[in-house]
Structure 1
Amino acid sequence: MAASPYTCVLWDVDGTIADASAGILPRLVEVYAAFGLPEPAQSELSRWIGPPMFESFRDLAGLSEEDAHLAVRKYRELAMRDGYAASVRIYRGVAEALQTVKAAGIPQATASSKPENQVLAILEHYGLIDDFVIVAGALPDASGLHDGKEAVLRRALHRLTEAGVDVSRPVLIGDRLHDIEGAAPLGVPVIFVTWGFGEPGESAGAIAEVATPDELLRILLPHG
């Protein structure tokens, strides 16, 4: 195993591994229309990518909690219609970074606010699934509401532990403030990537900020 400061690496998906905006944004426009809302400006739509959809429909679209639940359901129906891996691209250099970390013997997992079945579909479609020991994404509760980043991270660490992985020094790779906020209660440091959808100031609280996968690898594998 190559020397690394970390015993395992957890990855956010939207904005970190994959750019799904080409599919996400048109579906949001359809949901807005279904609720009689004016079409949001294109410049605003990137704020939706990453955080849990329920929170975004409630806080950004201004829907009631009841309508936010319905909007999430409508959005999921549209995503299923379109295909979960449709209009998704993998960021340049990320697939190679995943392979390099795996080859170095550092276990990897996803920890995404995206529904877990959608994460699996994307990773399988692009042949990335074997780079991960486990895959963790958002799961619904009895009401259909998907859990947030902290819960997903907690589940990812638990599954890694069950798989025999040392989780004493984890690190999360992410691109939004909610990654940092979700990791903080668990004491998981975050490396913030700037190729995603984060806005200025969102990286506050991260241990490092990187602009390319090569920069990221120099932190994950400093002696690689």
Structure 2
Amino acid sequence: MSAPLRLVLFDVDGTLVDSQGSIVGAMTASFDALSLPVPDRKAILSIVGLSLPKAIAQLAPQQSDVVQARLVEGYKQAYHAHRLEQGMAGSPLYPGAREAIEALHAIPEVLLGVATGKSQRGLDALIEGHGLQGYFVTRQVADHHPSKPHPSMIDTARAETGVEAVNTVMIGDTRFDMDMAAAAGVPAIGVTWGYHTRPALDAATTIIETFDQLPGALDQIWT
């Protein structure tokens, strides 16, 4: 009897890549362009994982919808300019990320996917820039879904791949990822090297501190 299909979904920012420099820089440029007080670094990193409009709404709740929309567009422009200037140097893969992706991809019954608050353009550029084409069979981005922690990204990834919830795992660094997994009824692995503190990951099924621990965590969940 063949093994059931498994689906491993990765968050991106703070999980696969360390893009905090690009994110903080773009957010700073966006607020500066409108002569608004720039949120501190901790506040900016706390909203990573949310879709951009929701993130801006949390960072500038006192601003009007019009101003928030201008901040969103300013961030997009600044982030794109930063990526053109620095390439993937501004969003390097975390140690062990590529090896973990390649090892999982080599397992016939394991499918890989992405569930991220990034835009389609941003994710496609990152995947191409890091040479990760061909690894992810499903890519769920903020353009087509409600913001995390709504379960839409996971539900759609499961529908596209035909994998049951019990055989799906969400891997992420924020409470938004953990809460999204809970809302979708799938196990979650929290990673400590990202942008939220370990206590924020308390809804995780298990927590890992390095990519080396990922195979054991998956075995723990699936056996």
Tell me the distance in 2 between the aligned counterparts of 1:76 and 1:111: 19
Answer yes or no: is 1:198 the counterpart of 2:196.
yes
Alignment equivalent of 1:128, drawn from 121, 128, 132: 132
Structure 1 runs of 4+ aligned residues shifted over 3 Å read: 165-168
Give the superposition deviation at 1:200.
4.1
**Corresponding residue for residue 99 of structure 2:** 96
**Corresponding residue for residue 35 of structure 1:** 34
Higher RCO (C-alpha 8 Å, min separation 6): 1
Work out the number of aligned pairs and report it: 213
- 88-97 or 64-73, larger mean C-alpha shift: 64-73
Partner amino acid, structure 2, of 1:37: L
Cα shift readout 1:143-166 (whole Å, capped 9, x = no counterpart): xxx6313222222222223xxx56
What do you get for the CA RMSD once the two structures are aligned? Answer: 2.4
Partner amino acid, structure 1, of 2:216: R
Partner amino acid, structure 1, of 2:58: D
Give the superposition deviation at 1:131.
1.8
**Corresponding residue for residue 143 of structure 1:** none
Tell me the distance in 1 between the aligned counterparts of 2:206 and 2:198: 14
Cα shift readout 1:64-84 (whole Å, capped 9, x = no counterpart): 333222211221122223337
**Corresponding residue for residue 110 of structure 1:** 114
Tell whether the 8 Å contact from 1:16 to 1:174 is kept in structure 2 after alignment.
yes
Give the superposition deviation at 1:17.
0.5
Tell whether the 8 Å contact from 2:19 to 2:92 is kept in structure 1 after alignment.
yes
Name the SS for the 1:172 alignment partner: strand
Answer yes or no: is 1:159 the counterpart of 2:160.
yes
- TM-score, normalised via structure 1 length: 0.85
Name the SS for the 1:100 alignment partner: helix
Answer yes or no: is 1:77 the counterpart of 2:77.
yes
Give the superposition deviation at 1:29.
0.7
Cα shift readout 1:122-158 (whole Å, capped 9, x = no counterpart): 1111111222122221115xxxxx6313222222222
Tell me the distance in 2 between the aligned counterparts of 1:8 and 1:202: 24
Give the superposition deviation at 1:167.
5.6
Tell me the distance in 2 between the aligned counterparts of 1:117 and 1:158: 23
Listed as ranges, the gaps of 5+ residues in structure 2 are: none
Answer yes or no: is 1:173 the counterpart of 2:166.
no
Cα shift readout 1:160-211 (whole Å, capped 9, x = no counterpart): 23xxx56651000001011122222210111000011112421111100100
Which structure dedicates a bigger proportion of its chain to helix? Answer: 2
Tell me the distance in 1 between the aligned counterparts of 2:199 and 2:59: 19
Tell whether the 8 Å contact from 1:173 to 1:193 is kept in structure 2 after alignment.
yes
Name the SS for the 1:97 alignment partner: helix
Tell me the distance in 1 between the aligned counterparts of 2:76 and 2:178: 26
Tell me the distance in 1 between the aligned counterparts of 2:219 and 2:102: 13
Name the SS for the 1:188 alignment partner: coil
Tell me the distance in 2 between the aligned counterparts of 1:129 and 1:17: 14
Tell me the distance in 2 between the aligned counterparts of 1:59 and 1:20: 20
- TM-score, normalised via structure 2 length: 0.85
